Structures are given as structure tokens and as C-alpha cells.
Homo-oligomer: A and B are copies of this chain.
Amino acid sequence: MSIIDSATKTVVRDYTVEELKDQAALMRGYNLVALCAAGSGHAGGTLSIMDITAALYLSVANHDPKNPNWAERDRILWSGGHKAPALYVGLAFAGFCNKEELVTLRKLYSPFQGHPHWLKLPGVEASTGSLGQGLSVAVGSALASRLDGRRNKVFCIMGDGEQQEGNIWEAVMEAAHYKLDNVIGIIDENRLQIDGPVCEVMNVAPLADRYRSFGWLVIECDGHDMEQVVNALNQAVRNEGSGKPTAIIGKTVKGKGVSFMENIAGWHGKVPNFDELVKSLKELGVEEKIPYLALLDKAKGYQTEVERKLDAKMPKFSKDYWWNTSTTMQAAMKPTRMGFGESLSENGKDERVVCLGLDISGSITISEFYAKHPERKNRWFSMGIAEQSATAAAAGLAREGKLPVLGTYATFAAARNLDQIRVSICYGNFNVMIAGAHGGVSVGPDGATHQALEDLFAMCGLPNMTVVVPADSVETRKATDFLLLKHVGPKYIRFAREATPIISTTDTPFEFGKANVIRLRNESKNFIEAFATELADDYRNENEDLSIVACGPMVPEAMRAAWILKQEFGYETRVINMHTLKPLDRRTILKAALDTRVVITAEEHQIGALAWQVSHAIISSPALFDVPVITGAIGVKDRFGDSGAPWELIKEFEVSAEHIAQQAAALVALKKQRIEATEKELEPTLSLR
């Protein structure tokens, strides 16, 4: 069976093995065109899984593209959500969606999110992207089928590196315990993950033995031999009645089909440029069959429309204040994460420092620890994609006097392991540094699953934890230096992926737990020179019109807002760089409230981690009881992220300087209006004096 008309239960289309091979080549081509148009994504894994995808979507699985929620359909779950483009071409080739639309991949508002979202695209069974959860969803789905007396299969596509996640083994156990012989796990064993060969990052072999010992049937096959693939899938389907779930281990090649991508770990999270695309399409023999120029044009057209929509939504001022759009106020850009790597490279010389890798070591710069210092490799522990265990292991290292550093995307570094952070690290009060990378929506096209917008809630809430969110790469360097070597106890540092303005120098003060005040002095050629920064404790009130309390890369946005407010309204702004969120510099907040009466918080996070604490500090202060103060909050408004370009998302999620300035102007106007009203009311009194 395969593509079905669910009304008549007849097969609409089936494919021979030869046809499937052709389809797979075409699917690889469309996949690469979409990736090229997106400018980011995962070429390696989408190519390794493509033959299995073709067999599954076009020949083995029963489904009806006209009726994507047909109850009797086979479910296909993509646990490794980063292979979404393969899923999308699978759906497109089966008829669920239009092949031509695939080039909107990873663009703002597109149904083709960086990681699949079932609410955006019919045919997607679940929203995935955080590894290791899909097989559990499959277990739930299979249990539901059993309850409802349905005979559908539940396929779940996983990676081999993904097998490092403990979550998987819980699901493996459960599928066997419940004798879910309708569950078919497919492992795309391409032997490479981001940090290198799976066997070096964290060995998972022998996978077949492991699955068997957990009570599964195992079928091994060449994942690129279409006949073997189809046979393996059909054999797994026939295992129904065995009382055992089936694992198909497909031996594959990462980057399969494109000579210069094959077996190269670097192509995990990389996409072809135009020349590489053309070369790839030729190698695949599909250059003539795919209208790639027209498709790339279509992508450009979509992108133009996105930009128009976004622009229409932005607050408008008398001129364009966007980063580096005028000849003055030029800002140099560098990702905050770089400061982390620089610090590790330097401070790694301390023999107590050990670093734990979680398979995305390059992009979060933790690998700088050893990059120029091969002798430190003995203090580098690759732990695989296993956040829970690495976190508790860090506690074990700290118990022995080491200074462990642990890092991954903040969505994983502060959530998959929250209880391990709580119990093993914070309750034990261990000297562990956790780096939460890729904080905020500015992560960009990876989308919601990879954009940490809630991590600070949990981290600020833990006793014994300290939390620092530096404003630029220079400050990240200083913060890492301090936290790593001087601060005793658990610590969380959060930084971002995208290049953001450098707004400090090595001379700028950085004192843990003490905010800085930043004041616009006059427009300047270079953005950084337009401002004066000092330690808040040293700052003397200038009766500014408002204060903006910001952290992380929202500090440069707050500074730019100060510029807009000065230019457009003549308002003076006290920008407060609240780099330390825990412990919070309450004194500086109270002073700002007293002096300026309008306090706006700015965080690239769900509103609250900073906003709520600042508001509470002010309104719970007896000294400010009868001082009229209002707070405003800029941040993400209780919604999940989205795919898109980093700076587009800053606009879409209303966390730009323009949004700060707009809100600030309204609140300062309110203040002035109310104070005038009060003064009018008090006039008789005043005239008496």
C-alpha cells in the first residue's frame, strides 16, 4: 500500500524500486534548492535520510494527501527535527503540499519552519527539533491506536547521535514493555554528528545489540540501497503480531549523493551556495528536471514580501535609525558568544578548568577551550547529546575541586536538565558554570525549538544560582573571566548567536552584581563613542526623562532607543546595563525609579525574567511608596519563536530600539501629563508659598 484515497481505500499511486530511486534523486535536488534559498539548514542529514524518506512516503506508508488527518493513516514522526527539509520534500512528493513552495523554507511566516511545526503544515505529525523526544511521541500515538482499535503503523525517524539522549532509552523501554509492534523506529546511522564521528563524540555502538537487549526486533540494511530499504520497511510492517517493536538501522552516508558533502561532519549544519547547488544538481542528474532558477527567484519574491510586511509593522520616526544605515553612529558587530570562547581560551590554562561538550561545541565557542591548546584535550570531555548526565557529571567534577564548564543552546542547557541543575548542582552548591547559548529570537531560522525565551525564569528561580547576561562580546569575556575563576557556586551565563553591536571596551567597568549606567552624550561617527558608561554606584542623577533597564544584546537596543528618543523628542534616557540578573542590583533600580519615574525593561526573553523583578523591586520599596512611578516592558509577549532572519525576528517580536522608543515616548508623555495635572491641582497651594 502507499498513497491512498481514504474515501475509497484504493491505492492512488505506488512506485517501483526504480521509480523510487528517481524520485529520491529529485527529492535530494529540491531539498538542496530549498536549503540554498534558505541560506541555512542541514544538508548532511537530509541527504542521508532521503532514500528512506522516498520509500516511506511514496511506497510503504499508508496515507492520503487529500485527507492528511485520515484516522487510519500511518504516522511518521521525525524525532530529529533538523531534517525537516527531507520531511517537507517527502510530503511534497507524496502530494501533501506544493514542491514549489518548499523554497520558502526557514523564512518568516513560512509553514516550512526550520524545525517542523505540526500546526503550520498538514502532514507533519508533531513539532520536533529538540532531539530524543520523537520516539516517546510515537509511543503515545501507538498506545492511542491500540485503544482506538486502529491498525496503523507509527514510524519514527531518529539519528544515531540522537541515541545519546536518555529520553530515547526511556521510550525504547516503554515500547517494548507495552509490546508496541506497531512502532517502527528508523535509525539513520550516518555515523557523524556536529562535533565529529558518533563513535568519538559518544559511542552508541553496538546499536543493534542495545535495542535487542531492550526487547526490540532489529533489522539492519543499507540505507541507500532502495531495494533493501523497501524490504526492511515492509518486513518491519509485517512484524505486527510479534509483540515487539522493530528498529531498522539504516547504514547511511551523511551528505549522500553529493561528492563533496559525503562523510564530512562539517556539512551537518551547512548548506550549498549557488555554485555548490548547481554542482550538486548535476551530480544528482536532476539539473534539467528542477527549475532551480525560477525557484530561487520565487524565494526572493517571498522574501521581498516578508520585508514589506515587517516594515509596515515597525514604529515610524522622522528618519531611519536602524543599525548602520547612516554614516554616523556606526557600530561594530560581533556575537556575544565570542567573548565566552575567548575567555575559555585564556583561562583554560588553569588546570582546574574542565569543559564538557554537548555536540554543538563550535557554534557556542566552548571548543575554544582547546582549539589552540591541544594539550588541554585531556580536560575536554565530549558527553554527546546528553544534557542530563553531563550536568550531574559536572557536579561530580566540581565535588573534586574542578571548575567544570558546560554549555549548549539555552533551550537545552537550562531545560532538559533542569532537575539535574537544581539537585546535583544548586542544592549541592557546586562550582559549575553553565553556558546557555542562542538566547533570544535572534537565533534566527532554526525557529522556535532552538530559540531560548524562557531559560531565565528557571535559572533566576534556583537558590544558590547566579545569572549573568552580558551586553556584548567584550562584556561576555569579562563576565566569563569573573564567573569561572572568581565566583564560587553555581552560575549561568547567557549569550546570543547573532552578531550584535560592541558597546564596551576593556576599560568599561564590569562589576558582578552591579549595574552600569550608560548615557548618550552626543551623536558621533562611532556608536560606541556617543555614549559614556560608568558604574551605577558612581553615577549622579541628571534628572533624565526615563530609564531603560536592559540586559544582553537588548542593551545596545536600549542605547539606540536613547538616541531615537533624544533626536525625536529631546528626551534624556538613563540606560542601565543590568548584566547580572541574580543577584539583582536593586539599589540602582530604585534610584532610577526615584530619579526618572519611568522605568522600561528590555529583555530578549519572554517578558518577566527582568521586567517582573524590576517592577517588584520598585513597588515593594517603602522609600518609594508615594513616588509616582510607572514601568513598561519590552520583551517577547508570551509566544513561541519563529523561523526568519535574526534581525527580522527582532522586528517581528517587537524587541527593537524602535519598539522601546515607542513605548518610552508614550510613558514619558503620560508622566508629563499627570505631573502637569497634579501641579495644576496644587496651584493654590503653590501660590500661598
Q: Which residues of A contact B (CB under 8 A)?
A: 117-119, 125-130, 132-145, 147-148, 164-171, 173-174, 176-178, 202-204, 206, 209-210, 212-215, 354, 378-379, 381, 383-384, 386, 388-402, 404, 411-412, 415-416, 418-420, 422-424, 426-429, 448-449, 454, 457-458, 460-464, 606, 608-609, 611-613, 615-616, 618-622, 625-626, 628-633, 638-640, 667, 670-671, 674, 678, 682, 684-685, 688
Check A381/B167 contact, CB under 8 A, given A117-B427, A639-B463: no
Asked if A423 and B129 make an inter-chain contact with CB atoms under 8 angstroms apart, the answer reads: yes
B-side contacts of A448, CB under 8 Å: 427
Most buried by B among A140, A400, A420: A140
Asked if B688 and A389 make an inter-chain contact with CB atoms under 8 angstroms apart, the answer reads: no
B-side contacts of A148, CB under 8 Å: 400
Distance of A630 Cα from B625 Cα, bound (Å): 6
Asked if B178 and A381 make an inter-chain contact with CB atoms under 8 angstroms apart, the answer reads: yes
Check A458/B449 contact, CB under 8 A, given A401-B144, A428-B119, A428-B127: no
Contact of A167 among B166, B412, B427 (CB under 8 A): B166
Asked if A626 and B625 make an inter-chain contact with CB atoms under 8 angstroms apart, the answer reads: no
Asked if B144 and A424 make an inter-chain contact with CB atoms under 8 angstroms apart, the answer reads: no
Asked if A140 and B203 make an inter-chain contact with CB atoms under 8 angstroms apart, the answer reads: no
B-side contacts of A126, CB under 8 Å: 395-396, 399, 424, 428
Distance of A117 Cα from B463 Cα, bound (Å): 15
Check A629/B640 contact, CB under 8 A, given A171-B389, A202-B177, A419-B412: no
Contact of A616 among B136, B137, B615 (CB under 8 A): B615
Question: Which residue from chain B places its CB closest to the CB of A607 in the assembled complex?
Answer: B616
Question: Which residue from chain B places its CB closest to the CB of A598 in the assembled complex?
Answer: B625
Asked if A391 and B127 make an inter-chain contact with CB atoms under 8 angstroms apart, the answer reads: no
Asked if A143 and B458 make an inter-chain contact with CB atoms under 8 angstroms apart, the answer reads: no
Contact of A394 among B140, B209, B400 (CB under 8 A): B140
B-side contacts of A427, CB under 8 Å: 117, 127, 448-449, 640
Check A125/B399 contact, CB under 8 A, given A427-B117, A611-B616: yes
Contact of A397 among B140, B460, B608 (CB under 8 A): B140
If A615-B615, A622-B670 are given as contacts, then 13 extra A-B residue pairs at C-beta distance below 8 Å, sorted by A number, are A117-B427, A127-B427, A133-B423, A135-B389, A143-B396, A144-B400, A147-B402, A415-B419, A454-B461, A458-B458, A608-B616, A620-B630, A684-B685
Contact of A399 among B141, B393, B415 (CB under 8 A): B141
Distance of A609 Cα from B613 Cα, bound (Å): 10
Question: What are 8 of the A-B contact pairs (CB < 8 Å)?
Answer: A119-B428, A127-B428, A134-B392, A136-B393, A140-B398, A144-B400, A388-B416, A463-B606
Question: Which residue from chain B places its CB closest to the CB of A582 in the assembled complex?
Answer: B638
A263 to chain B, nearest CB (A): 22
Distance of A608 Cα from B167 Cα, bound (Å): 31
Distance of A204 Cα from B177 Cα, bound (Å): 9
Distance of A448 Cα from B213 Cα, bound (Å): 36
B-side contacts of A127, CB under 8 Å: 423-424, 427-428
Distance of A139 Cα from B381 Cα, bound (Å): 11
Contact of A133 among B117, B140, B167, B424 (CB under 8 A): B424
Distance of A457 Cα from B606 Cα, bound (Å): 12
B-side contacts of A139, CB under 8 Å: 389, 393, 396
Asked if B386 and A173 make an inter-chain contact with CB atoms under 8 angstroms apart, the answer reads: yes
Asked if B428 and A118 make an inter-chain contact with CB atoms under 8 angstroms apart, the answer reads: yes
Distance of A167 Cα from B401 Cα, bound (Å): 24
A417 to chain B, nearest CB (A): 9
Contact of A141 among B145, B397, B615 (CB under 8 A): B397
B-side contacts of A134, CB under 8 Å: 392
Question: Which residue from chain B places its CB closest to the CB of A621 in the assembled complex?
Answer: B630
Distance of A379 Cα from B129 Cα, bound (Å): 29
